[in-house]
Structure 1
Amino acid sequence: MPLFDLPLEELRGYLPDRDEPADFDAFWSATLAEAREFDLAAEYVPYDLPYANVDVFDVSFTGWGGHRINGWFLLPRGAQGPLPCVMHYIGYGGGRGFPHDHLLWPSAGYAVFVMETRGHGGANNGRPGATGDPHGSANPQAPGMMTRGILDPSDYYYRRVFTDAVRAVDAAAAHPAVDASRIVVGGASQGGGIAQATAALHPAVRAALVDVPFLTHFRRAVEITASDPYQELVRFLSTRRDTAEQAFRTLSYFDGLNFAARGRVPALYSVALMDDICPPSTVFGAYNHWQGPKEITVWPWNNHEGGGGYQSEEQVRYLHKLFGES
């Protein structure tokens, strides 16, 4: 994919207007209060694997609507005292996969809490899932998750997902092995978008690792990329021509630009300049609105894979520096 978005010099200063509903904060406050009426009931079941240096737990907890959400919780074996914990949110279509997919952070001395995204994990990407989405959508939808409930913010799919992500932080913070003052949210693509939202919604979050984030600057994304998942929105609107205003109003409650404007904690972003799935201007739009201390790693020659393992190394160094660890 060639360069197709704004030049890097313009991207660094790109600060788009935000379409923010007047009741944005009230909407999320009420949503989270409603979710917390359900008992969190977090369960950590030891998972039998012959790992010498890592303890693995099969996790479940109560998310939006009282629904059970699955995940993994991994700890470096023999670690002393409460540990910083990285919340890992997963990319579009992927499930929680296998424990060996998540060994980076325990090997660096951190706990990691992997939250599965409800309804995902059936895509052909090798990472199976175990969590459904019991809530049905009131409106017709295009295949995929992007238009599920899109005509009503209270019914939209990502209201449930973002709420699950906040509840996952609640679960991690209550675990005795976790230092609740050092919880980090992170993920790539959809996971990056979820992390970006959760950092704004949960006051216990200490830092954010936001890689090539999805779910950000929706209107520009659908105007300049021909790739999925944003094209799910285009296919829906090309059929339901009468619903565009209503759909974009719903999306404004979930747009990463609006969450980024509420981001106060340190954040490490990444962007790939040839990314036609999450275009660079959508990433820089959020990054430039982020209000806390921030850094961004630019990968000029990469598509949506971004920095891959190189970015993972950047993240480990970033958190070690942030937490003053050797």
Structure 2
Amino acid sequence: MASFEHDFPFDPTHGHTLDDLLRISAPDAAPADFADFWRGRYEEARKVDTEPELGPPEDERDGVRIHGVTFTSVGGVRLGGWVALPDTGTAEHGFVIGHGYGGREAAGPDVPLPLPRSAAILPCVRGMVSRGLLPGVPTVSSAHVLHGIESRDTYVIGDCVADLWCAASALHELVPELAPGTGAPLLGYLGESFGGGLGALAVPWDDRFGAAQLTVPTFGNHPLRLTLQCTGSGEAVRGYHRDRPEVTEVLRYFDAATAATWLKQPTLVAAALFDPSVPPPGQFAVHNALAGESELQVLSAGHFEHEGLAAETAELRAARKWFFGERLGR
């Protein structure tokens, strides 16, 4: 069991050992129309003309040029982010890279990319700084995670998943050598925390993705998650649930562990034993429920500064490079 000195008013391991965590999976019963719901959302997103517009270069490093980008997503909203393109030659691999709750201000630590000669789109999903800001959509995670939660059809998390699908469409339009039918490898998906949970919800229905890597993914096993105190967005959902327990019917459609039972693409999950923000049982539930080939990287802690963090980050970066090289390399 991971042990760190901390001042949280709860135990971020929630008393679980690794053996305990490896036995936790998806909730027992998914909605009968779970897959139909998500396939319908996906089909709607694929109909969107994303009309991507690439801005001038903003940075050049680690073998890529980084540009600003804007594109259209479901509902006609215009979102932004960044695109990384090889600084020489054409792209041989493509990635969609999600972000944590709080958004992103730049391409940041997501570059260098997992494989050389790659292109990637790094979108800001709706409501998130700095290029996903939308009137009426909260930017703070505790409010964002509740936006539209009254109905599965209005919940912002569903639209954020669609934003990732539209980002993939935009990348294919901007980098046509990666588009389906060209012989290029399928896309890879990377996401951490919020982006990890969104990826688990997005990838199963999109055959443009060939592999995924999810780090400390959120939204796993909501029935269990609602019982576990945390410092992240889950605490806002727990508070909402105490007053409106009927929200569980909506949350059933947005469970990353349930979605993982349909996720057949090879997936590397980095899950933490100690995490104050995203309870570890939910993270491991996503990995344990995966329908396809899976790899597990066990982290001592997530969302927490500790002495071994730099070494674990380097180890995960190496594992990611190997994982995508084996699944998407050519």
> TM-score scaled to structure 1, two decimals?
0.85
Q: Secondary structure at the match of 2:144?
A: coil
Whole-Å Cα distance in 1 between the matches of residues 273 and 19 of structure 2? Answer: 12
Residue identity opposite 2:38 in structure 1: W
Whole-Å Cα distance in 1 between the matches of residues 61 and 71 of structure 2? Answer: 25
CA displacement 1:227-285 (0-9 Å, x = unmatched): 221110122234xx2x212x111111111012101101111001110113222221221
1:14 to 16, 20, 24: 24
Deviation (angstroms), 1:69 = 1.5
Residue ranges of structure 2 left out of the alignment (5+ in a row) = 5-10
Deviation (angstroms), 1:215 = 1.6
Residue 91 (structure 1) aligns with = 100
Mean alpha-carbon deviation: is it higher for 27-36 or for 202-211?
27-36
CA displacement 1:278-317 (0-9 Å, x = unmatched): 2222122121111111110012x32335743431221112
Residue 8 (structure 2) aligns with = none
User: Relative CO higher for 1 or 2, CA cutoff 8 Å, sep ≥ 6?
Assistant: 2
Deviation (angstroms), 1:201 = 2.1
1:206 to 189, 204, 210: 210
Whole-Å Cα distance in 2 between the matches of residues 67 and 279 of structure 1? Answer: 32
User: Paired residues, what number?
Assistant: 308
Residue 118 (structure 1) aligns with = 126
Residue identity opposite 1:277 in structure 2: S
Q: Percent identity?
A: 23
**4+ residue runs over 6 A deviation:** none
1:33 to 16, 25, 43: 43
Whole-Å Cα distance in 2 between the matches of residues 50 and 85 of structure 1? Answer: 18
Residue identity opposite 1:115 in structure 2: P
Q: Secondary structure at the match of 2:226?
A: helix
Residue identity opposite 1:44 in structure 2: L
Deviation (angstroms), 1:100 = 4.5
Whole-Å Cα distance in 2 between the matches of residues 273 and 157 of structure 1? Answer: 29
CA RMSD in angstroms, aligned pairs only: 2.5
Residue identity opposite 1:104 in structure 2: P
Mean alpha-carbon deviation: is it higher for 30-39 or for 252-261?
30-39
Deviation (angstroms), 1:142 = 9.6
Any conservation in 2 of the 1:217–1:256 contact (CA below 8 Å)?
Answer: yes
Whole-Å Cα distance in 2 between the matches of residues 193 and 206 of structure 1? Answer: 17
Q: Structure 2 vs 1, CA of residues 41 and 237 (structure 1 numbering), >3 Å: closer, same or farther?
A: same
Any conservation in 1 of the 2:68–2:82 contact (CA below 8 Å)?
Answer: yes
Residue ranges of structure 1 left out of the alignment (5+ in a row) = 122-128
Q: Secondary structure at the match of 1:133?
A: coil
Residue identity opposite 1:132 in structure 2: L
Whole-Å Cα distance in 2 between the matches of residues 142 and 104 of structure 1? Answer: 27
Residue 318 (structure 2) aligns with = 313
Q: Structure 2 vs 1, CA of residues 67 and 29 (structure 1 numbering), >3 Å: closer, same or farther?
A: same
Q: Structure 2 vs 1, CA of residues 12 and 321 (structure 1 numbering), >3 Å: closer, same or farther?
A: same
2:104 aligned with 1:103: no
Whole-Å Cα distance in 2 between the matches of residues 135 and 20 of structure 1? Answer: 31
Q: Secondary structure at the match of 1:20?
A: coil
CA displacement 1:55-112 (0-9 Å, x = unmatched): 22211111121111111111221134x42112110000122x2245432117733222
Q: Structure 2 vs 1, CA of residues 311 and 156 (structure 1 numbering), >3 Å: closer, same or farther?
A: same
Residue identity opposite 2:169 in structure 1: D
Residue 165 (structure 1) aligns with = 164
Whole-Å Cα distance in 1 between the matches of residues 229 and 169 of structure 2? Answer: 36
Residue 7 (structure 2) aligns with = none
Q: Structure 2 vs 1, CA of residues 142 and 273 (structure 1 numbering), >3 Å: closer, same or farther?
A: closer
Residue 273 (structure 2) aligns with = 273
Whole-Å Cα distance in 2 between the matches of residues 184 and 147 of structure 1? Answer: 29
Any conservation in 2 of the 1:35–1:65 contact (CA below 8 Å)?
Answer: no
